[in-house]
Structure 1
Amino acid sequence: MPGILGHRASLPRQLAFRFLPDGTDDAAVEWTYHDLAEHAAAVATGLLRRELTGHRVVLALDPGLHYIAALFGIFQAGATAVPSFPPTGKRALARFLSIVEDCAPDVIIADTRLADRVAQFEAELPASAARPHWMFVDDDWFRRAAGARRPDGDTRATVRTDVPALLQYTSGSTGDPKGIVLTHDNLVSNCRALEANMGYEPDRVGCTWLPPYHDMGLMGTIMLAVHGGWPLVLMPPAYFVQRPYRWLKAVTDHKVTISVGPNFAFDICTSSITDEELATLDLSSLRQVFCGSEPVSRATLDAFRDRFGPRGYDETSLIPCYGLAEATLYVSGKRTGSAVKTVWLDKAALENGRVRHLTAEDAEAADAGRAARIVSCGEVAEGHEVIVVDPGERRQAEPGRVGEIWVRGPNVATGYLGKPELTAATFTARLADPGDELTYLRTGDLGFLHEGELCVTGRLKDLVVIAGRNLYPQDIEHSVRSAHEKLRGAAVFSVPGESGEELVVVTEFRGTARQLAEEIDAVRDAVTAAVTAGHGVAPADVHFAPVGAISMTTSGKVRRDATRKAYVQGTLKKLTPAADALPLSVR
């Protein structure tokens, strides 16, 4: 990757990034590749002076241009970058400290505003943990560093492409975060695989609000843009969350042709953008909109299309895709310009691990709730292979059966940092056939192949098994969120009961405890009815929580395992109306 930036900077000046610090054009900052190279060289010089080639450097800056400069500066110094949250806020600090303890970095790069908190951070670390050097940067630091750097100084180490470039920590959606070791070869392979899907377009302009410490935001936008040489409009994630309209307004204003977002982003745009805001949008420039990071919902896509189609949005631009950090990012995606393919399945068969196709015209099955709609995640990336495996037997699943998705190819990482047994089990899995020596990455995800395309149905660890039926929690969670207008997030899992596993629904109520008290019977009945009618099982408990109580990853995925643990331990927050505010029926 550092060689690619060097090549871009050697060409005539070209816009690389347009950063919108507040999510609008009011204070936009533009950098060319020359600007990026100069800022990266300042960071590289500081690291090379400390002889940190081959060492790990935690990158804990706020999303923005300094983050990108520091990333490429780490690459140029031949060090390994470790993307992290900035350590602000209780949850972010806990994750930051766990990363520092796990990877034992020599340097942490952070914003100067955190300089007076080093003692506080280090006091939170175990006594046995190493105390890294801190490098605090801001605009003034970069100006001073540029003035002090010798014009003829060497700011680049010799970097082999097969050495660790990045230590990408997993989102932790199904357990504790783990550091994935990615080489420069992995990063370039991922860019090439995505570009094979996208094709070449001379007028390409990108836009992203995704966190740069998440694989989709980092490898799927920032690195991809530098590799491809096209300008990227960026805004901090917080400004999208505060007002999702800003994303689509940036697409409109900058005639963006390519963007990306997880399923929830399309949901909140549909529900939160007002009619007045809608009238200002023109989405006709979009040619590729990647949707991944979490299961893609057909209902979400339908609602987004209906809402924004009149403003120029063409659903053929949408690219449902599948990937994971252990494969750098990209595994499969819909071919650019083709129609989104929806596979209609018999829900009862799917619950028993079988793929029984229905026709889209089978309205009776759909109305009766007997049909499951699975959005295809497209063709497998060029140069890669996907097989579907019975996880217990370790044999390829028979046609028409759901199994675990296994992947092999140059995007697959080398393993987890400091976890040799887990690395061997996950990254070098073999089929039970003794004559088959090929190794695969076990993704932990479930799905099947249909007409050469990958369809993902859920996660192996999240699967809810009740009375021998395989229930996919994301489907039930969608039913919960749709059951009542005041419900936001949802997490579904099972717990042991007197006669077997029982279903628990945790949902966030948008309102006060008193408001819940006034509506609790109606809301609980609505949830129970929606889950029972749609999935044939009644929840044993509906736990109402305040907004923000359900544990989420940086990309917006539900951390069901963490939520389940908190529920079982009795530490999950609950919106509890006062006894005198409850209706007589529930006192």
Structure 2
Amino acid sequence: MAGLFGVMHAGATVVPTFPPSGKRAAERLAAVLRGCSPQAVMVDRGRTPERMPADPPVLEISGAATGEEFGCIPADPGLLQYTSGSTADPKGIMLNHANLMSNCAALTAHIGHESDRVGLTWLPPYHDMGLIGTLLFALHGGWPLVMMDPEHFVQTPARWLRAVGEFGVTITVAPAFALQLCTESISDEELAEIDLSGLRQLFCGSEPIHPDVLGRFVMRFESRGLSSTALIPCYGLAEATLFVAGKRADEQVRVDRGVVSCGVPAAGHEVFIVDPESGKPCPDGQVGEIQVRGPNVAAGYFHDSEATGVTFRAGPHRDALRTGDLGYLRDGELFVTGRISGLIVIAGRNLHPQDVEATANTCHAAVFHSVAFSVPGASGEELVVVAERRVTTGLTEVRAAITAAVTAAHGVRPRDVEFVGIGRIPRTTSGKLRRAEARRRYLAAAG
């Protein structure tokens, strides 16, 4: 936080990124450095990563900000937020101070003011959900925020929920996979130490959320004081700073056709559903591309006018953001169904990978999570499912269960079902499945 506001105090632009702790992370950092040509890289004192490039110079953060006010105007660039880069080099999204303030104001309008609000986060502080949705939001609202290292949550998920009661937390946030991880990994002994009676808002985002994940989470933790109305499925993306839509506070989660509602659009914003090909508006209930207009929408991509024109200049007024996500509106609420680029087309049938994955995830107790994608076959694209397994034996039975369930539910028989250990399916820093990377690994292993 000292580095973040120190850079802003100096009148410069912050480019948050995670330490290059592995080969792919080092490659991503190199792509970010090529993209923005920073004057310096700042790290915590004594924690300079081994893979840090020689240029630009590395500066160690040695002190806190002075608390002096500093001047900036709303149009000044505040953050250059890079995308995950799961399918290509990451793109830098230009977020000015007006975008950042708008996002905080929209979140505040959505959940209201509470004098005793206390937050908790274990999300990586260099990602939009962790940085903008928790750190900046807490600072904007003036309420305390308990920070936990992401590794501490991953090592022992119960630490997150136990801390809710220990610190009197009223608001927290997590990707959908974290709810599933807690539901299935927290023991009865750990459960007894958890108190969620004071938790009023639990924002849940990233991948489209399956209703069973929410239902099982509530069933597991309602005995520890969790209210089902505390769950707030939400939708957002870095190109819109973060927040686009969310469930209203104190309302039950709504499910329509097996899809969880992400609630109403953020205050001062408009959400449209349009046909991806024609650009014409879709009626209520019809799936199309989600487009957003409002002050949260960024100015565009850094040094990429072509991509900016395609993504940020949509709609009749040429000021709407094309999200690349599919969904529909019903009674003013947004239902997200998947990604346009993630569609699996087999023999003329359009399959959403999330639907296939939901089927695989629930067909056998040995399946923890899965990822679905298509690969070239002798007569066209064919379906592949890669599943994280909880066991190392009896996989023939599990494979048969997945094959039968997917075939029955979706009318397409998987060409292959592969197994990997828990945590081996690639994800972005916000927990979204990196399907293109999973596909690349599968094809590389197949030779």
Aligned to 2:74: 161
Aligned to 1:478: 358
Counterparts of 2:236 and 2:128, CA distance in 1? 10
Aligned to 1:252: 165
Out of 443-452 and 492-501, give the one that drifted further: 492-501
CA distances 1:88-126 after superposition (whole Å, capped 9, x unpaired):
233332222221222111010113334584xx5336xxx
- Tell whether 2:281 aligns with 1:396: yes
1:388–1:402 Cα contact (<8 Å) kept: yes
The structural deviation recorded for 1:545 is: 3.1
Counterparts of 1:257 and 1:468, CA distance in 2? 48
2:284–2:330 Cα contact (<8 Å) kept: no
CA distances 1:297-326 after superposition (whole Å, capped 9, x unpaired):
100111011111111100111111110000
2:326–2:336 Cα contact (<8 Å) kept: yes
Q: 1:563 aligns with which of 429, 438, 441?
A: 438
In structure 2, what residue type is equivalent to 1:274? S
RMSD over aligned CA atoms reads 2.0
Counterparts of 1:376 and 1:542, CA distance in 2? 30
Counterparts of 1:399 and 1:112, CA distance in 2? 54
Aligned to 1:225: 138
1:83–1:167 Cα contact (<8 Å) kept: yes
Q: Pairwise mapping of residues 290-305 of structure 1 onto structure 2 (< 5 A)?
A: 290-305=203-218
Counterparts of 1:548 and 1:232, CA distance in 2? 28
In structure 2, what residue type is equivalent to 1:544? F
Structure 1 gap segments, 5+ residues each? 1-67, 124-130, 346-372, 431-435, 573-587
- Tell whether 2:14 aligns with 1:90: no
Counterparts of 2:428 and 2:173, CA distance in 1? 17
Aligned to 1:316: 229
Percentage identity across aligned positions? 54
2:20–2:49 Cα contact (<8 Å) kept: no
Counterparts of 1:165 and 1:319, CA distance in 2? 28
Label 1:571 to 1:189 Cα distance change in 2 as closer, same or farther (>3 A): farther
Q: 1:537 aligns with which of 397, 405, 412?
A: 412
Counterparts of 1:262 and 1:116, CA distance in 2? 27
Counterparts of 1:73 and 1:293, CA distance in 2? 30
Q: 1:407 aligns with which of 270, 287, 292?
A: 292
1:173–1:557 Cα contact (<8 Å) kept: no
Q: 2:427 aligns with which of 552, 555, 560?
A: 552
Q: Pairwise mapping of residues 210-221 of structure 1 onto structure 2 (< 5 A)?
A: 210-221=123-134
Q: 1:135 aligns with which of 46, 54, 59?
A: 59
The structural deviation recorded for 1:500 is: 2.7
Counterparts of 1:550 and 1:211, CA distance in 2? 19
- Tell whether 2:21 aligns with 1:71: no
The structural deviation recorded for 1:156 is: 6.0
Aligned to 1:383: 268
- Tell whether 2:52 aligns with 1:121: yes
The structural deviation recorded for 1:510 is: 4.2
2:152–2:159 Cα contact (<8 Å) kept: yes
CA distances 1:383-439 after superposition (whole Å, capped 9, x unpaired):
111110101111112344210001010000011111110011000113xxxxx3342
Out of 477-486 and 413-422, give the one that drifted further: 477-486
Q: Pairwise mapping of residues 435-450 of structure 1 onto structure 2 (< 5 A)?
A: 436-450=316-330
Label 1:224 to 1:405 Cα distance change in 2 as closer, same or farther (>3 A): same
Q: 2:345 aligns with which of 465, 482, 485?
A: 465
Aligned to 1:62: none
The structural deviation recorded for 1:546 is: 4.0
Q: Pairwise mapping of residues 164-183 of structure 1 onto structure 2 (< 5 A)?
A: 164-183=77-96
The structural deviation recorded for 1:549 is: 3.7
Counterparts of 2:148 and 2:444, CA distance in 1? 38
The structural deviation recorded for 1:548 is: 4.2
Secondary structure of the residue that 2:259 maps to in structure 1?
Answer: strand
Aligned to 1:342: 255
Secondary structure of the residue that 1:247 maps to in structure 2?
Answer: helix
Label 1:470 to 1:226 Cα distance change in 2 as closer, same or farther (>3 A): same
The structural deviation recorded for 1:485 is: 3.5
Secondary structure of the residue that 1:382 maps to in structure 2?
Answer: coil
Label 1:133 to 1:156 Cα distance change in 2 as closer, same or farther (>3 A): farther
The structural deviation recorded for 1:176 is: 3.4
Select the structure that is richer in helix: 1
Counterparts of 2:237 and 2:149, CA distance in 1? 23
1:172–1:559 Cα contact (<8 Å) kept: no
Counterparts of 2:387 and 2:84, CA distance in 1? 21
Secondary structure of the residue that 1:377 maps to in structure 2?
Answer: coil
1:388–1:449 Cα contact (<8 Å) kept: yes
Counterparts of 1:220 and 1:486, CA distance in 2? 34
Q: 2:189 aligns with which of 273, 276, 279?
A: 276
Counterparts of 1:381 and 1:114, CA distance in 2? 39
Query: TM-score, normalization: structure 1?
Result: 0.73
Aligned to 2:311: 426
Label 1:273 to 1:520 Cα distance change in 2 as closer, same or farther (>3 A): closer
1:464–1:473 Cα contact (<8 Å) kept: yes
1:532–1:538 Cα contact (<8 Å) kept: yes
In structure 1, what residue type is equivalent to 2:329? L
The structural deviation recorded for 1:87 is: 2.2
CA distances 1:228-276 after superposition (whole Å, capped 9, x unpaired):
0111111011100111101111101111111111111110110011111
The structural deviation recorded for 1:280 is: 1.6
Secondary structure of the residue that 1:121 maps to in structure 2?
Answer: coil
Aligned to 2:370: 490
Secondary structure of the residue that 1:539 maps to in structure 2?
Answer: coil
Out of 329-338 and 474-483, give the one that drifted further: 474-483
Counterparts of 1:72 and 1:449, CA distance in 2? 39
Label 1:228 to 1:157 Cα distance change in 2 as closer, same or farther (>3 A): closer
Counterparts of 2:56 and 2:183, CA distance in 1? 45
The structural deviation recorded for 1:558 is: 0.8
Out of 181-190 and 551-560, give the one that drifted further: 551-560
Label 1:113 to 1:385 Cα distance change in 2 as closer, same or farther (>3 A): same
In structure 2, what residue type is equivalent to 1:76? H
1:429–1:441 Cα contact (<8 Å) kept: yes
Secondary structure of the residue that 2:402 maps to in structure 1?
Answer: helix
CA distances 1:498-530 after superposition (whole Å, capped 9, x unpaired):
33321111223345xxx45xx232121111112
Label 1:85 to 1:115 Cα distance change in 2 as closer, same or farther (>3 A): closer
Aligned to 1:28: none
Out of 473-482 and 162-171, give the one that drifted further: 473-482
Aligned to 2:245: 332
Secondary structure of the residue that 1:490 maps to in structure 2?
Answer: strand
The structural deviation recorded for 1:76 is: 1.4
Counterparts of 1:240 and 1:549, CA distance in 2? 17
